Amino acid sequence: MNESLNELLYRSFDTTLSDEEQQRLDEGLKQSEGLRQEYDRLKTMRRIMAEQPQPDFMPGFADRVLQRLEDGGDASGDAQLFFEALWLSFRRMGTVALLLLIAAISYNIGSSDNVSLRSAFNIPETTMEEIIEPDFYQELESLR
């Protein structure tokens, strides 16, 4: 496919071509199967895009943008926007993590004999013998 014809094809969707350009494009469409396929593909794509609902912005979007432009891109405002976005993004994940933590702690306390911080986090009780090597512990006991 000729690049200049391809460029004319793309421009024909957005602007009015001169008579000479339109004639060149029409001739190219008659002669090139690939150019006709590209034309049909672009036409279909533009139709599908036109049928899609246009996104709506939240109320006050334009006012916020204008205010931000007038402020000159305040750095503290940028940080605040970042943390607000971060909070919104991770709020659900944090809620799920908190619920899992509560469930794990509840299970540990329920399966233990006593209610303590050790049982809540399933921390085993250790003795000095378990922490210190047995030979060294015996020497400590003999020093008493």
Residue 95 backbone dihedrals phi, psi, to 5 degrees: -65, -45
Rg (the chain; Cα; Å): 36
In a domain, 79, yes or no: no
Backbone angles phi, psi at 26, to 5 degrees: -60, -45
Q: Does 63 map to a domain?
A: no
Structural domain includes residue 56: no
Q: Are 59 and 29 in contact (CB under 8 A)?
A: no
Q: Which residue range forms the structural domain that includes residue 106?
A: 96-144
The backbone region for 73, taken as left when phi is positive above 0, alpha when psi lies in -120 to 50, beta otherwise, is left
pLDDT score at 129: 67
Residue 36 covered by a domain:
yes
Q: Band the pLDDT of 84: cuts 50, 70, 90.
A: confident
Residue 125 lies in a domain: yes
Q: What pLDDT is attached to residue 20?
A: 93
Categorize the per-residue pLDDT at 74 as very low, low, confident or very high, splitting at 50, 70 and 90.
Answer: low
pLDDT at 137: 66
10: in domain? yes
Q: How many CB atoms are located within 10 Å of the residue 55 CB?
A: 5
Tell whether 67 is covered by a domain. no
* Domains of the chain: total: 2
Of 18-27, 56-65, 92-101, the one with minimum mean pLDDT is: 56-65
